[in-house]
Amino acid sequence: MLDFLRSLEQRRGQALKKAGHPVMQQYLSTPFPGRNQAWNDTSIVSLDFETTGLDPQQHHILSYGKVEIERGLIRLASAEHRLVRTEYDIPEESAIIHHITDDKASQGESFKQILPRMLEFLRGKVMLVHFSRIELGFLDAACRRLYQTPFLIPTIDTLVLAERVLRRRNHSLAPNQLRLFNLREAFGLPKYRAHDALNDAITTAELFLALESDITPGGDTQLKDLTLK
């Protein structure tokens, strides 16, 4: 009940004691990076999901893309994109947006197969996302369903950071301005096709690097300056 008062690291330790599945035991056995650690001394994984909707209890992951940031540099060699096979028909409106059809999704792996690999490349690192409700929500729901254990990770949300930077610049925020596609244009980033998980993961990484220098002007940015509370 008072879990929200504990630090993320304390919650990791508690979850590890209760974890019964070896996948979660391994994931939770690695301490999280310290909140006072410099951000560019930290391994960061930019992750993006394409899903059929926003509710992890009703909707499904169609694909994921990820790329890693090491020493403040995006490592394109770490880029990865995978399709996720679902047992349910993909709604037409989702197929139009993501260009992932039932036939295409059938070539992917089930999320049950993919999740252990995902937890392995996230272990001991910081997750970077745009609109954390999606990735945190779907990963937590999957870990609770498959392993009866909550998903925990230090998380940087570029939507939150962008809002902070734009408000500091006294920008009035119009509806949809904080969408990844619009922020890419606002911060002069390269254009990619939107609603592709790997493209969006790379864009999120680029946006983060563009935002970081605005977070603590003239000072060294620590993880506590960037991560969700």
Q: Which of 87-96, 99-108, 116-125 has the lowest mean pLDDT?
A: 87-96
Extract the runs of DSSP E, i.e. beta strands, from 86-199. Answer: 109-110, 126-129, 155-157
pLDDT in tens, 130-183: 999 999 999 999 999 999 999 999 999 999 999 999 998 887 788 789 999 899
* Contact (Cβ atoms closer than 8 angstroms) between residue 46 and residue 75: no
Positive or negative: CA dihedral 211, 190, 74, 82: positive
pLDDT in tens, 72-86: 999 999 999 999 988
| Higher pLDDT pick, 38 / 103 | 38
Q: What is the pLDDT of residue 98?
A: 64
* Contact (Cβ atoms closer than 8 angstroms) between residue 124 and residue 118: no
* Contact (Cβ atoms closer than 8 angstroms) between residue 176 and residue 182: yes
Domains of the chain: 3-225 (3.30.420.10)
Mean pLDDT value across residues 2-31: 90
Q: What is the pLDDT of residue 106?
A: 62
Q: Which of 44-53, 73-82, 187-196 has the lowest mean pLDDT?
A: 187-196
d(CA 211, CA 158): 8
Complete DSSP assignment for 185-216: HHTTPPP--SS-HHHHHHHHHHHHHHHHHHHS
Which tokens in the block code for residue 216? 């603590």
Q: Is the pLDDT of residue 29 over 90?
A: yes
Q: pLDDT class for 6, splitting at 50, 70, 90?
A: confident
| Higher pLDDT pick, 67 / 92 | 67
Q: What is the pLDDT of residue 1?
A: 43
- The mean pLDDT value of the chain amounts to 89
Q: pLDDT class for 222, splitting at 50, 70, 90?
A: very high
* Contact (Cβ atoms closer than 8 angstroms) between residue 163 and residue 186: no
| Cβ partners under 8 Å of residue 105, min gap 6 | 62, 83, 84, 85, 86, 90
135: part of which helix (H) or strand (E)? helix 132-147
Q: pLDDT class for 96, splitting at 50, 70, 90?
A: very low
